[in-house]
Amino acid sequence: MAKLTLDDIADLRAYERERDEFRREVIALKKRRRVPLGDFVTLLFENSRTIRFQIQEMARVEKIITDEGIANELRVYNPLIPDPGQLCATLFIELTSKLALMEWLPKLVGIERSVSLRLPDGELVPAVVDEDHEKQLTREEVTASVHYVRWELDPDQIDRFEAGPSTVVLDHPNYRAETTLGGETLAELVSDLRHGG
C-alpha cells in the first residue's frame, strides 16, 4: 500500500458525513490488529486505514484545514504505514492513574527496545524504534506512554511467520509478557508483510 497523500484526507465537512461509518469500521479493524502484552501494554499494528483515521481525527479535533497542516500530519504518521516486508506498531502503556504513571514510566525506560517477534523456530526479530519519533520520545529517566516500532522481515522470515505460531515477546527487566499471534490478527499481519499496509 502506498503512503497516504493529501487526496486521501477528506476535508472536515466531508469527513463528518463519513465519520460514524468509518469509525465503526476502524474500531473493528483495530480489534483485529490489537495485541495485548501483559496487564497494561498493548501493541496496535498500524496500516493505512488506522493511520488515515488518526489523521482525520487529529484534523477534526485541532481544526486543521490547510494543505500545509495536513501535509505535516502526513509526514509524522506516514512512516507508520508498513511497506511490504514490514510490520509497524504503536506501543501503548495503558495506565490511567497519575500514581501508576509516576510509578511505572521511570521503571519502563527502554521498553520500546525490548519488543521482538519470535518466529516458530525460535528466531527473535527485534523491533526497530522509529528514528524520528525516538528523538521526541526517548528519555533516560522516564519513558513516554506511547512509542512507535517496526519490524523488517526478509521473505524467508515472512514464510516462517505465516506458518506460525509466532509470538510477540516483551522482555524488559521490569515487565515481561508474550502473546501468540493467531486467527484474524495473524491474517492481518501476513497481509501487511506480503502487500504493505
Is there a domain that residue 32 lies in?
yes
User: What are 72-124's pLDDT values in tens digits?
Assistant: 999 999 999 999 999 999 999 999 999 999 999 999 999 999 999 999 999 99
Is there a domain that residue 134 lies in?
yes
Q: Does the pLDDT of residue 133 top 70, yes or no?
A: no
Is there a domain that residue 113 lies in?
yes
Is there a domain that residue 107 lies in?
yes
Is there a domain that residue 1 lies in?
no
181-185: long-range contacts, CB 8 A cutoff, minimum separation 24: 181/35, 184/32, 185/32, 185/33, 185/34, 185/35, 185/45
Residue 134: pLDDT band by 50, 70, 90 thresholds?
low
Output the nine-digit C-alpha cell for 136. 521526541
Domain of 177 in residue numbering reads as 6-195
Is there a domain that residue 136 lies in?
yes
Please tell me the distance from the alpha carbon of residue 194 to that of residue 196, in angstroms, as a whole number. 6
Q: Does the pLDDT of residue 182 top 80, yes or no?
A: yes
Is there a domain that residue 26 lies in?
yes
Domain total of the chain: 1
Question: What pLDDT sits at residue 139?
Answer: 66
Is there a domain that residue 20 lies in?
yes
Residue with cell 504513571: 101
**Is the bond preceding 165 in cis, omega lying within 30 degrees of 0?**
yes
